[in-house]
Amino acid sequence: MMKINLHTNAVINHACILLVASGAYFGTSNAFADDKKPKATEAPAVSYTRPPFAAFSSQMQDGLLGGGKYAKPVWNLHDTLKLPDWLSLSIEQRTRYETMDGRFNANAKGGDQQIPLQLDVALEARWGQWRLGGEFLDARQLGADSGSGVNNTHVDMADFIQGYIAWANQNVNYSGLGLEVVAGRQTLNLGSRRLVARNVFRNTINSFTGGKLRITDYSHWQFTGFVTMPVLRDPLTSAEILSDVDRFDEEDSHTLFSGGFFEWNNLAWNINSELYLYHLDEGDNPDIQTRNRRYFTPGGRLFLKPTKGKFDFQVESIGQFGTVRATTNAKDGKNLDHEAWMQHIDIGYTFEMPWTPRFAFEYDYASGDKNPNDGKDQRFDTLYGARRFEYGPTGIYGAFARTNVNTPGYRINLAPRKDVQLMLSHRAFWLAESKDSWGGTGLQDKTGSSGSYIGQQLELSARYDFNSSLNFETGWTHLFKGEFAKNAPSAPNGQDVDYFFVQSLLRF
């Protein structure tokens, strides 16, 4: 049963922001322009297509490519407050209601519902080749209780997820190469986003503190290298979150996450390619006992972007090797050899007809641990990746993760109008290894006698863009439980699961 406790601070904070932003006038404008950048790399004037997912990543200028991917919102504070061209300000507020009937986690009972609120404020100042920026995030929930399993993927109250200084030169020594260096707290979004992502649907956002270097030959290739410490979202426990304990996030100084990411554009026949290597070196700190993951994760991706009247495809192969401990117990000092892998394949076709339907077949395999008693670990770790775009909504649902999973499926996308998007996805799920656990559900049968078939997931979603400042989205997901979901030790009752959400996203 949901207990609605309207936190006074949350209401006041969000109300004040909306009152300040309500002065934004109706009008259109082009993306921010920089008159000093070389004409060869000057971003063309853009017109509104659809609202961006996140204010910072889409409205702020790219240090090497110029203007953002989208025009400024039709209601925007930059013009209303008559800010100078060198200063960017954007505010985004999202409200979602989500409810779930039935459960799939170990020992869970009944249903659940929450109201996640997210407020994002991004500010950036630019002087010549230099940029100084910051991003404030207030992510919280209303209605959770002790049975909700709330954690720091739902809540990160009043904290800064970015605070950085950057330098960029779009034509180093007239070589045609662009160079950018970013230092400080920042978000990362690389490639397919399966391993490193700025979260979109989830209420909180991954961020890192360190340095990032980017070199690009613009239309040909780009390299991104980074050395960072992951930022730990505080508070860590459900009890503290439900008690509205508020602490500033801190870098995990005992963990280092680094990597190199190389992209080639139009390798052949308009095919794009990526090659990368990530390294995670995790240690215990005074507040958190970890599994001391020490991984190297190499991978590569080939893809052809969807085009009307043509086939498209995507193939990504990822390996992972190193060491990890079996538990987070401080007394567990034994390292297990870690060898895992993951494979993604999708093939799609976009029809040149009304509604522009695209049909795609998808397949994912992420290895699991074959034998829980052999002193080895083969369970694939998705690092800091996102999963909503393939495995369904996260939030209070989040049934599937990119680990110990074997899943074929198909997806249909439709666009009845330029401001409406529809999607249907249907996937079947098996455990890659029947003796290993089902993602983060806590369900595991070490004997393997509960089988490997988890069930099928059907997802429907719709999005309507009222204008470039406001959009609405809704979705329904149904999990048809299979034998493992019903019969594994500690499994809840065999009732199928229904998840529903509706949300609004307002940006200025």
Give the domain CATH number at 67. 2.40.160.100
Does residue 237 lie within any of the structural domains? yes
Residues 6+ apart with CB under 8 A from 9: none
Does residue 1 lie within any of the structural domains? no
Does residue 396 lie within any of the structural domains? yes
Does residue 449 lie within any of the structural domains? yes
According to the model, what pLDDT value does residue 8 have? 39
Cβ(72)–Cβ(48) under 8 Å?
Answer: no
- Under the banding of pLDDT at 50, 70 and 90, the label for residue 71 is low
Q: What is the pLDDT of residues 231-265, one digit of tens each?
A: 999 887 787 777 778 888 899 999 999 999 999 99
- Counting the structural domains of the chain, the total is 1
Judge whether residue 54 has pLDDT over 50.
Answer: no
* Burial state string for 115-142 with b = 16 or more CB within 10 A and e = fewer than 16: bbbbbbbbbbebeebebebbbbbbbbbb
Judge whether residue 62 has pLDDT over 60.
Answer: yes
Full-model pTM: 0.87
Cβ(161)–Cβ(56) under 8 Å?
Answer: no
Judge whether residue 104 has pLDDT over 90.
Answer: yes
Judge whether residue 457 has pLDDT over 70.
Answer: yes
State mean pLDDT over 327-337: 87
Does residue 375 lie within any of the structural domains? yes
Rg (CA), the chain: 23
According to the model, what pLDDT value does residue 100 have? 96
Q: What is the pLDDT of residues 391-449, one digit of tens each?
A: 999 999 999 999 999 999 999 999 999 889 999 999 999 999 999 999 989 999 999 99
- Under the banding of pLDDT at 50, 70 and 90, the label for residue 60 is low
Does residue 366 lie within any of the structural domains? yes
Q: What is the pLDDT of residues 193-239, one digit of tens each?
A: 999 999 999 999 999 999 999 999 988 999 999 999 999 998 877 87
Cα 83 from Cα 77, distance rounded (Å)? 8
Length of the chain (residues) = 508
Residues 6+ apart with CB under 8 A from 285: 252, 253, 254, 255
Does residue 3 lie within any of the structural domains? no
Cα 155 from Cα 240, distance rounded (Å)? 11
Residues 6+ apart with CB under 8 A from 21: 75, 77, 91, 508
Residue 30 belongs to what domain range? 8-507
Q: Which has the closest alpha carbon to 505: 128, 73, 136, 32?
A: 73
Does residue 412 lie within any of the structural domains? yes
